[in-house]
Amino acid sequence: MKLYGIPNCDTVKKARAWLAEAGLEYAWHDYKKQGVDRALLQGWIGQRGWEVLVNKSGTTWRKLDDDSKAAVHDAESAIALMLSQPSVIKRPVLEHDGKILVGFNPNDYAAFLK
């Protein structure tokens, strides 16, 4: 199991606390320090779609100019943005048994990890 995100994100902190409280071990991947690669993003998009992965309600998205926002219209343009600005990826992403869960909800985590 692997958790992707950035350490100062409140939602990531909640997910990490939930996993710790449940006694579940996981590998941690910090987008800002370790980045992400195209193949990983393509796999995630194949499972969930690019629209789920691009966090349009976050600070990084809001700081983009209108032309940059308008340029994100398909998987390839979303990947380009996520590679250049990993903080725009919705977080956390939990990877387990080849599947991913995006965002954090305690009930969703419990069901996903059964």
Instruction: For residue 93, list its beta bridge partners.
Output: 4, 102
1 CB neighbour count, 10 Å cutoff:
12
Residue of 26, 33, 50 lying closest to 86 (CA atoms)? 33
Whether residue 23 lies in the annotated active site: no
Selecting among 1, 6, 9, 110, the annotated active-site residue is 9
CA 106 to CA 22: how far, in whole Å?
11
Active-site annotation, residues: 9
